[in-house]
Structure 1
Amino acid sequence: MADSSAPVYILIGATGGIGSDVSRRLADDGAQLVLGARSEDELNSLAEETGGDPFPLDATKFEQVQDIVDHAIDTYGRLDGMVNFVGSILLKPAHLTSVDEYREQISKNLDTAFNTVKAGARAMMKEGGSIVLMTSAVARTGLKNHEAIAAAKGGVTGLMRAAAATYASRGVRVNCVAPGLVDTPMSKRILSSEAGRKQSEAMHALGRIGQPEDIGPAVCWLLDPETTWVTGQVIGVDGGLSTVRAS
């Protein structure tokens, strides 16, 4: 039976590196979780570990994001927060990026974020809540060969700020977390070679690649019901990548 006093959070892309870390943190704090992801096997494993409610979906399709929101409301009677962790990374200059590759970056990063805001904000307009989107340090500083992903993540940042303005009077806070390069399955191709890893480490002033546990606390803080005076913000958790030049 659902605990009416515990907050209810939807995590989309929950089985990824950062999403799974946040899932475990929130579960340890007693939150009720509805976990969304494409891979049913990974989703069921995470749900068993965290006590979450697994809900397979493709977040690029709005109707499926609406379905997970409807499921949360029908099951728990409330929704306190929603996070979209879905994303992808493409490192190519614009002239070598195919139209399909570009559209995939927009679909996985920006469309999923828009779907999260569209469905989540409507559900939280009466009681308020928190929406957290994932942007990136590459949307805050120019890095070569990042045109498509920078365009997508820049769109996420713009979406967040507009939505924060739209829904502020309804008590719905909308914010972004902007990581640097984090050691997750998504970045495996970049970090698979020793040269690639060393080059990436050197770009971060703190001299290392991020870990999921570096990002999780910022997401949880933005979800916390006590964080009631923070909206429209980009919280950089990037080892200094977006603001500091390593010597």
Structure 2
Amino acid sequence: MKSKNIVVIGGNSGIGKAITSGLETLGAKVFSYSKSQEGESQLDVTKDFDEIKNLPEVIDGLVYCPGTINLKPFHRFRIADFQNDYNVNVLGAVRVLQACMKGLKKSNSASVVLFSTVAVGVGLGFHSSISSAKGAVEGLAKSLAAEWAANKIRVNVIAPSLTDTPLANQLLSSDDKKEASNKRHPLGRYGKPEDIASAALYLLSDDASWMTGQVLHLDGGMSAIK
């Protein structure tokens, strides 16, 4: 990972922050962007853009972390809710991927990491909007993995379950909620940002040089066992 140029979108908090920290520890050159950062590192993925400022000429890795958690009964969702989730999770990724494509193609072995959710593979009530959007992310990743394989660009997805990030604050806002979340996972606990970051670091590394088009289910066993 040393001296590789890695672009992290949403690297200012939660999973993105843990990934950025891990990359820097391994000696990578990290280019972090998010809506909450200032100056030329500020990036609103919901707005249209053709380029991202100060990208390196060669991009060895790209991680797209922005996401949403919008949970409620289906009849309470408005079309605008679905559109917002799709805009952040899918179209935001598309905008970033298109802006970074030229740099990725200049690398000898580039890696793209996108994020889905356990709710795509496991039917979970109240998740209709986010699971629809993240399902589209998985489809996008597999298509790009096929299309970009000739350019030696790997595209993989991490599909976590509930992870302790600022985005999940309301779901883990009390000891009772935390305990209930622990019990839903076969391994007896919800995720930590470092759990997800470790998987992302692997996918970005040369150790994963023969892996593409995959969805890595990192969910405490929720999607596989009872």
Instruction: Work out whether the TM-score is over 0.5.
Output: yes
Q: Which residue does the alignment assign to 2:55?
A: 72
8 Å Cα contact 1:83-1:116 kept in structure 2:
no
| Contact 2:59-2:106 within 8 A present in 1 as well | no
2:77: which partner in 1?
97
1:18 to 12, 15, 29: 15
Aligned position for 2:44: 58
The alignment-based identity, stated in percent, is 34
How far the C-alpha of 1:58 sits from its partner, in A, is: 0.5
Residue 193 of structure 1: CA displacement?
A: 3.1
Cα distance in 2 for residues equivalent to 1:236 and 1:16? 22
Q: Does residue 35 of the first structure (1) align with residue 16 of the second (2)? A: no
Q: Which moved more, 1:126-135 or 1:28-37?
A: 126-135
1:121–1:167 Cα contact (<8 Å) kept: no
- TM-score for both structures, normalised by structure 1: 0.85
Aligned equivalents of 1:20, 1:85: Cα separation in 2: 10
Q: Deviations over 1:10-52 (max 9, x none)?
A: 00000121111111110011111111011126xx9xxxxxxxx
Q: Deviations over 1:112-165 (max 9, x none)?
A: 222233223332223341110011111111001100000011110010000000
Any stretches of 5+ residues in structure 1 without a counterpart?
45-53
Could you say what secondary structure the match of 2:200 adopts?
A: helix
CA contact (8 A) 1:12 1:36 kept: yes
- Amino acid across the alignment from 1:92: K
1:56: how far off? Answer: 0.7
Deviations 1:177-221 (A, max 9, x none): 111100110000111133432332222111111100111110011
Q: What is the CA–CA distance in structure 2 between the aligned matches of 1:186 and 1:198, rounded to whole Å?
A: 18
TM-score norm. by structure 2 comes to 0.93
CA RMSD in angstroms, aligned pairs only:
1.7
Query: Is the 2:58–2:106 contact (alpha carbons within 8 Å) kept by the matching residues of 1?
Result: no
3-state SS, counterpart of residue 40 of structure 1: coil
CA 1:226 to 1:208, structure 2 compared with 1: closer, same or farther past 3 Å?
closer
Distance 1:141 1:100 in 2: 24
State how 1:53-202 maps to structure 2 within 5 Å. Answer: 55-63=41-49, 66-68=51-53, 71-73=54-56, 77-127=57-107, 128-202=109-183
d(CA) in 2 for partners of 1:141, 1:232? 19
Measured after TM superposition, the shift of residue 72 of structure 1 is 1.7
Structure 1 residue 62 displacement after superposition: 4.2
